[in-house]
Structure 1
């Protein structure tokens, strides 16, 4: 909106997603949103360093330096806080319009409301919540963000895999009818895995070295998709494996369609959506890519049309790439911007 001060945003948790959100906001040049505070238990020197230098996304494209208790990023001042509890921060005094909860530590409604009771007007969570009732809405931008309830105060941005899968599943269900869906997530290693074998997690598989094995892990993807696409309830199964890469993941999706189709038709539907209603969220390629080609790609999903297969002729298999960090961080900013502008 012209001629108004930027919306004031705070980050709670400054790990992979929090840092990507800050960097993405800077790279997008979105003058309507401004990060004014971040809260993390790390020391300020480490926060400055990991903002400036990132092994996955490269050097920050602008000035980053500490200035007393603040982090100065590209000329903007961000207050750095170090509190372990929501009640330890004067959120009202910060005058924020929205908190992006990026720690992943708050998953129930009771936990989320602690921020509201402490003075936060709205909270956008960077993870799926423990139950559908834990938030006022779970949003996938481009699918259901316009259905955000007017009185919402707690909202989930779902997961990176849900943001990848839901737009194209919705499209293909409308066009082909989906009788059954099976998804395998091929996900890059995450910080709940050790570099070498260690007593690191209650899931014994995740005590093993992240970079020496392909490791099956649990996933709530099927449940997350059914929350957003209830018409597919009872038809989805999902599993996940972690693979020894640092970023960029993929969904291997198998669909049993209600009618005959072909690889050409499926690819045409997805290509047209990428050029039309899902432009900016969905992309399409048939080039001979490897996963690293999609590092720092802001799309939620990139369909690799060269890998589309149809058998039967109702059994469809797709390979869909996504940058699990950068794409998701951009969707958080999309939802944040829509939510705040709608409130005006």
Structure 2
């Protein structure tokens, strides 16, 4: 496990609906800002003022006033899954059968509105895909059935899934395989230009399972309502952002966030070294993962 801390002075505006965490700037205030955790019935907060009536520059007492707890939800109901153009289940293809790709497939097998029809990974053959999918060291043994039909076909719970091993996403025949939506979970094609290569093979939409430098980023329950049908390539942001953004959204809307301190306790990732050695990312990740604490610099930058 690895822990990291970062002062959130400028969160991505497209994740928190255009609002930003602002820094304190120059000199400090003469009095500390204090936050009230209750809302008075006689004085509702004015959200347009940022903090509203719930925050003052001095402590306030509520004497002989009726007090009502704040009611807020971090997430709304998940958006409905778009139906396939053929009128049946949403047909999905997965590029990259690592941690995220395998979990997407596991979740899809438990749903009746999504069907994974193809998986592409240039480094894993069908036999090893089946083994890794069935025996998961974190989530346990897959409770359904899985078998290798041939080197290009898996059968999971009686449904066949095509297997390809293309390095170039433009060469994956998503259209011929029946996939309309592609989950880009290889961790390689994270920009709009690179991920758009899937569209050349017949895919209609691409969802990147990582932060993107330029693709629109969405967190369900935070800003998914701003999605436009014209967006063919989008990002689902980072795992850390998906943990933080829903909570930050509620706090920001109810009180207003001027500055925040976030600590993430992060699971070990595939790029970490088991022992000290050279790293393609940064010096900190070159150190062995048995260290209890180190800075996850890349995640901090993407927040």
Q: SS of 2:259's equivalent?
A: strand
Question: What displacement does 1:87 show?
Answer: 2.1
- What residue is the counterpart of 2:5 in the other structure? none
Deviations 1:105-147 (A, max 9, x none): 01222212222233221000001101xxx32x31111111122
Question: What displacement does 1:50 show?
Answer: 0.3
- What residue is the counterpart of 1:337 in the other structure? none
* 1:37 and 2:114 matched: no
Q: SS of 2:92's equivalent?
A: strand
Question: What displacement does 1:214 show?
Answer: 2.2
- What residue is the counterpart of 2:134 in the other structure? 52
Deviations 1:215-269 (A, max 9, x none): 2230344653xxxxxxxxxxxxxxxxxxxxxxxxxxxxxxxxxxxxxxxxxxxxx
* 1:158 and 2:237 matched: yes
Q: SS of 1:219's equivalent?
A: helix
Structure number with greater Rg is 2
* 1:168 and 2:236 matched: no
Q: SS of 2:234's equivalent?
A: strand
Q: SS of 1:216's equivalent?
A: coil
Which whole-Å CA distance do the structure 2 matches of 1:169 and 1:62 have between them? 38
Count, aligned residues: 218
Q: SS of 2:148's equivalent?
A: strand
Indicate the structure whose relative CO is greater, using CA pairs within 8 Å and at least 6 residues apart. 2
Which of 202, 213, 226 is matched with 1:147 structurally? 226
Q: SS of 2:262's equivalent?
A: strand
Which whole-Å CA distance do the structure 1 matches of 2:168 and 2:284 have between them? 31
Contact 1:106 1:112 in 2 (8 A): yes
- What residue is the counterpart of 1:188 in the other structure? 267
Which whole-Å CA distance do the structure 2 matches of 1:217 and 1:143 have between them? 24
Structure 2 CA distance for partners of 1:49 and 1:223, relative to 1, 3 Å: closer
Relative to structure 2, which stretch is displaced further, 174-183 or 196-205? 196-205
TM-score, with length taken from structure 2? 0.67
Which whole-Å CA distance do the structure 2 matches of 1:145 and 1:89 have between them? 28
Question: What displacement does 1:43 show?
Answer: 2.0
Which whole-Å CA distance do the structure 1 matches of 2:212 and 2:129 have between them? 27
* 1:79 and 2:158 matched: no
Question: What displacement does 1:211 show?
Answer: 2.2
Contact 1:13 1:101 in 2 (8 A): yes
Contact 2:119 2:162 in 1 (8 A): yes
Which whole-Å CA distance do the structure 2 matches of 1:81 and 1:223 have between them? 31
Q: SS of 1:99's equivalent?
A: strand
Contact 2:210 2:236 in 1 (8 A): yes
Question: What displacement does 1:181 show?
Answer: 1.2
Structure 2: gaps of 5 or more residues = 1-82
Which whole-Å CA distance do the structure 1 matches of 2:136 and 2:294 have between them? 25
TM-score, with length taken from structure 1? 0.60
Structure 2 CA distance for partners of 1:183 and 1:222, relative to 1, 3 Å: farther
Deviations 1:62-108 (A, max 9, x none): 11110112111111111111000012222221222200000110122
1:139-288 mapped onto 2 (5 Å cutoff) = 139-221=218-300, 223-224=302-303
Question: What displacement does 1:12 show?
Answer: 0.3
Which whole-Å CA distance do the structure 2 matches of 1:112 and 1:4 have between them? 26
Structure 2 CA distance for partners of 1:110 and 1:222, relative to 1, 3 Å: closer
Question: What displacement does 1:213 show?
Answer: 4.0
> Whose helix fraction is larger, Structure 1's or Structure 2's?
1
Q: SS of 1:178's equivalent?
A: coil
- What residue is the counterpart of 2:35 in the other structure? none
- What residue is the counterpart of 1:299 in the other structure? none
